[in-house]
Amino acid sequence: MTCNGPDNCEARATPEDDPDQDLAKECSRLQTFTNFPSHCPISSSTLAQAGFFYTGEGDKVKCFSCHAVIEGWQNGDSAVGRHRTVSPNCKFINAIKILKNDTHSVFPNCSHRTEISLAADSPQPPLDPSSDLYADYLLRSGQVVDLSGSLYPRNPAMCSEEARLRSFHNWPSHTLITPKELAHAGLYYTGTGDEVECFCCGGKLKNWEPSDRAWSEHRRHFPRCFFVLGHDVGNVGSVSNQSGDTSLDRSDIHNADLPQTPSMADYENRIKTFATWRYLVSKEQLAQAGFYSLGNGDNVACFHCGGGLQEWKTDEDPWEQHAKWFPGCKYLIEEKGQDFVNNIHLTPQQDSTIEEAEKFSHFTDEELLQNQLVQNAMHMGFSLDEIRSTVERKCHLSAEGYRSIETLVTDLISAQRDNNPSASCESTLQKDLSAEEKLRSLQEEKLCKICMDKTISVVLIPCGHLVACKDCSEAVDKCPLCCTVITKRQKVYMY
């Protein structure tokens, strides 16, 4: 992947030669790495984020705050880790709280598609703090001091469909799925193979197959993505078709705005394909929902989005299944409306309860230990067997797993009390008390630090503190933590 730093820059003086340079700004530090060795295993962006600027000698860097000097970078080194080891009292490094991009789902996906956990922050371009895009830059570069959960959208710079489309300038020509379809589904190109990433949830997908559809794969692998669920996460749709780089639209057949099978656009043509239909679902309802029979069992496909469905069950509604699996279909939205699609995705799917529970029971201990929620619960003193039992029980009672550590810990404590109704030993009580205290602490972290009532939801710019709800943030002119004058307020989403 190419570097997102300044391009074609002339050689700059080192910080020692230019004392007026404000190295407290990451963009200023990043500019010092113009002649940084390209073979160094640590990127200049990572070093700049960790407070370092380039001294101009070998791979030697220096912290602008504590003036610690580090060189001899090796594969596997952590810029923040080495900084903290060499200078544990550095004010800058102790103030940083790196945002973690772990997936908050108890269920890893085991289907044929390669699904990738959320990656670490990638190098980002420097921005002028006075720019409106500076808030987006803070979120992307991990400089927001997050006192609770995850932030959405993950990459605000890719909220625009046009921006996502432009990221596909070097998309592999052998891949059949088009950049336009991927960008419309909230995905942008990472620059590696055929790997794409969602601007909202940060989920990554790769190894695309000819029959895959962007919307359905996005929804299938990341069903809790706020963009997939229809939440307003700042997405800016394409105003018009691209007139500049037509090479991005290599196949009109796969254009998400046009019917995939124009010959089946007419209802009468679709209903004729069901001449030998003998299955439980009404062929009239299927045809009205845009489907036509493929002549192979109960396999049907939508004439517009090309999405295919099979193995129909009694009482399944074709429109609802269309919305469930292919929410981005233009025909579906035109006929039923966006609200209908949103309601389908916001309603728990109870029919998958048993399937999810059985799937979870087959996960190995190693797979469970990779989950962030499981790790957090174990740090609180709960055993892996307790966690597995509690999650399996929830799967049997509902269609969803745990999305937050608070609800998981609450159920774990309840399960312990149910399983040991007469236990009164001091260690058990202390363990319950400790877990409850940690749970209360987690809940308090998500509360607005001003009113202590509503959930924090606004990042204060330029300091990057996430400490206030929307109402309270609008009522103050300075950050309640550092007293920095607020120049901008950035709405964020979390769970």
Instruction: Provide DSSP, 436-459.
Output: HHHHHHHHHHTB-TTTSSSBP-EE
Please report the pLDDT score of residue 480 as a whole number: 80
Q: Considering the domain 262-347, what is its CATH architecture?
A: Orthogonal Bundle (1.10)
Tokens of 98: 């790196």
Question: What is d(CA 317, CA 286) in angstroms, rounded to the nearest whole number?
Answer: 9
Residue type, 45: S
Tokens of 57: 């000698």
- Rounded to 5 degrees, φ, ψ at 172 are -55, 130
Name the pTM for this structure.
0.30
If DSSP codes are grouped into helix, strand and coil, which group holds residue 182? helix
Nearest to residue 156, comparing CAs of 494, 490, 454? 490
Q: In which residue ranges of the chain is CATH 1.10.1170.10 found?
A: 26-95, 262-347
Question: What is d(CA 298, CA 323) in angstroms, rounded to the nearest whole number?
Answer: 18
What's the per-residue H, E or C state across 239-270? CCCCCCCHHHCCCHHHCCCCCCCHHHCCHHHH
Please report the pLDDT score of residue 5 as a whole number: 31
Tokens of 245: 């780089």
Please report the pLDDT score of residue 118 as a whole number: 33
Nearest to residue 117, comparing CAs of 126, 125, 108? 108
| Per-residue model confidence as pLDDT tens for the chain (495 residues) | 223 333 333 333 344 444 434 787 777 888 888 888 878 878 777 788 888 999 999 999 999 888 999 998 886 677 887 888 888 888 777 765 333 333 333 433 333 333 333 333 333 334 444 444 444 444 444 444 443 344 568 888 888 888 899 999 889 877 778 898 899 889 999 988 889 999 988 889 988 876 678 887 888 888 778 887 777 777 887 654 333 333 333 333 334 567 878 889 999 999 999 999 988 899 999 999 999 998 888 888 889 887 788 888 877 899 998 888 777 788 998 899 887 877 776 654 444 444 444 555 556 777 777 677 777 778 777 888 888 888 877 766 655 566 667 677 778 887 777 776 554 454 444 555 556 666 666 666 777 888 777 888 888 887 777 888 888 888 888 888 777 888 888 877 655
Correct CATH for 26-95 of 3.20.20.70, 3.40.50.720, 1.10.1170.10, 3.40.50.10330: 1.10.1170.10
Q: Which CATH class is domain 458-491?
A: alpha beta
Residue type, 212: D
Nearest to residue 398, comparing CAs of 449, 358, 349? 349
With 0-12 / 13-18 / 19 or more C-beta atoms within 10 angstroms meaning exposed / middle / buried, residue 327 is buried
Q: In which residue ranges of the chain is CATH 3.30.40.10 found?
A: 458-491
